[in-house]
Homo-oligomer: A and B are copies of this chain.
């Protein structure tokens, strides 16, 4: 699997259960979210614009994906909604690694490029270094309809949070995705 295939397999609508373990407090916080992931053409104006923002030749964009989320976390009353565009740019000499451009960081609102690596175990690792924070996320498919994510956050040099998401496919946005089922309940019967 390469990064484009990983995004293609991620396309669709997902129900995501999230748990964050706050390590210093020894407390956990749960949340739920609907997530929609849509593939974008390489020449989509938003993809081209993001490349230009990072001063990267848009011809190097492998693909684009728009991720939209809408959820709640336990400890606050705020709605967690947002949307971001992701564009992977492969390293010239390492096809399974590269930069991941995004127009909004997950953890901070500033634009920031991360590093991605697709491992031999088909898992996608994303590393993002912010000014005062380091985030390492691992995403993998237990089945076409069950996607798992872990992430660890370091602030000021120490680990502050470990998080886990289990994501069940609720539907597909791509007609070509014949592997995916259109019903949420099928996720638990997918092998």
- Nearest B-chain residue to A117, judged by Cβ: B121
Contact between chains at A188 and B23 (CB < 8 Å): yes
Bound complex: CA A158 to CA B191 (Å)? 6
A120 within 8 A of B: yes
Residues of B within 8 A of A159 (CB): 142-143, 146, 187-188, 190
| Known interface pairs A26-B32, A148-B152; 4 further A-B residue pairs with C-beta atoms within 8 A, sorted by A's residue number | A17-B28, A21-B166, A24-B188, A136-B142
- Nearest B-chain residue to A136, judged by Cβ: B142
Q: Chain A contact residues (Cβ within 8 angstroms of B): what range?
A: 35 or more
Contact between chains at B146 and A23 (CB < 8 Å): yes
Number of copies of this chain that the complex holds: 2
Q: List 10 A-B contacts (CB under 8 A).
A: A17-B26, A19-B19, A19-B28, A23-B188, A24-B185, A143-B159, A154-B191, A158-B188, A159-B190, A160-B188
Could you tell me the distance in whole angstroms from the C-beta of A116 to the nearest C-beta in chain B?
15
Bound complex: CA A26 to CA B34 (Å)? 12
- Nearest B-chain residue to A28, judged by Cβ: B30
Minimum-distance CB pairs A-B, first 3: A164-B164, A158-B189, A162-B166
